[in-house]
């Protein structure tokens, strides 16, 4: 069976599992790892039944610059726009939402120090199963080539954890997994 087929089967199972899970969004706030206030943090605006990080973004915006991804219509990497609580949002491809305005963080191109990554499933080793578009893997690979100190934090419900996922060379492992039950440090 091909890796693509195995990943699609895993996605189908993971979507079913995630649809049955819920958590208090404030639990993600409690378990967020501390970091310097100068860090630019790339969050995400949840779609469908993704883990809701909006309360976490609001809390982090008090001390950090927050940017959200803009999903391109083609297969290019994500770009980022500055987000502040209450700012106008625009609907993008695949039901995503991003801030209205210029690309960047208000001072130039937004280059995050930390990237929150949504997912369908994860392993404790930092493997992540996304939707299959490759946007986050391409973006993380590009950001890591510019900044090897980039930190990646996958966000998911604890019930999305699995023992093993099909992976390939282009899949970028995550440094941490944030769940409503706590923070998992992976390969670092």
- Report the 10 Å Cβ neighbour count for 162: 17
Boundaries of every domain in the chain: 3-185
Q: What is the arithmetic mean of pLDDT over 2-27?
A: 94
H or E element, residue 90: strand 89-91
Instruction: Specify the DSSP class assigned to residue 161.
Output: B
d(CA 28, CA 19) in angstroms, rounded, equals 18
Angle of CA points 170, 175, 178, to nearest 5°: 115
pLDDT for the residue 109 = 65
d(CA 129, CA 173) in angstroms, rounded, equals 10
Beta partners for residue 68, in sequence order: 81
Q: What is the arithmetic mean of pLDDT over 126-147?
A: 94
| H helix runs in the chain, sequence order | 3-19, 26-31, 54-60, 135-146
Q: Binding site membership: which residues?
A: 50, 128-136
Q: Binding site membership for substrate: which residues?
A: 50
CB 47 within 8 Å of CB 54: no
Q: Binding site membership for ATP: which residues?
A: 128-136
N-terminal to C-terminal alpha carbon distance within the chain: 31
Within 8 A by CB and 6+ apart from 80, the residues are 42, 67, 68, 69, 70, 103, 104, 105, 110, 112
d(CA 156, CA 179) in angstroms, rounded, equals 5
Reported confidence tier of residue 135, pLDDT bands at 50, 70, 90: very high
3-185 — its CATH code? 3.40.50.10420
User: Exposure pattern of 171-180 as b/e (b: 16+ CB <10 Å)?
Assistant: bbbbbbbbbb
The tens digit of pLDDT for each residue in 73-131 reads 776 789 999 999 999 999 988 889 999 977 655 555 678 999 999 999 999 999 999 99
Reported confidence tier of residue 35, pLDDT bands at 50, 70, 90: confident
Q: What pTM was estimated for this model as a whole?
A: 0.92
The tens digit of pLDDT for each residue in 150-171 reads 999 999 999 999 999 999 999 9
């Amino acid at each position: 069976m091909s890796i693509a087929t195995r990943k699609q089967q895993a996605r189908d199972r993971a979507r079913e599992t995630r649809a049955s899970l819920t958590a208090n969004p404030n639990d993600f706030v409690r378990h967020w790892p501390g970091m310097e206030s100068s860090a630019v943090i790339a969050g995400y605006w949840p779609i469908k039944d993704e883990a809701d990080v909006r309360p976490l973004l609001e809390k982090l915006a008090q001390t950090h610059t927050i940017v959200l991804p803009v999903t391109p219509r083609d297969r290019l990497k994500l770009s980022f726009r500055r987000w502040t609580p209450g700012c106008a949002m625009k609907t993008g491809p695949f039901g995503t939402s991003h801030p209205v305005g210029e690309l960047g963080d208000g001072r130039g191109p937004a280059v995050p120090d930390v990237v929150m990554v949504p997912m369908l499933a994860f392993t404790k080793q930092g493997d992540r199963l996304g939707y299959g578009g490759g946007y986050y893997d391409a973006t993380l690979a590009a950001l890591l080539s510019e900044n090897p100190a980039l930190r990646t934090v996958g966000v998911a419900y604890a019930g999305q954890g699995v023992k093993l996922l099909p992976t390939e060379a282009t899949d970028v492992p995550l440094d941490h997994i944030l769940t409503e039950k706590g923070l998992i440090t992976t390969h670092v």
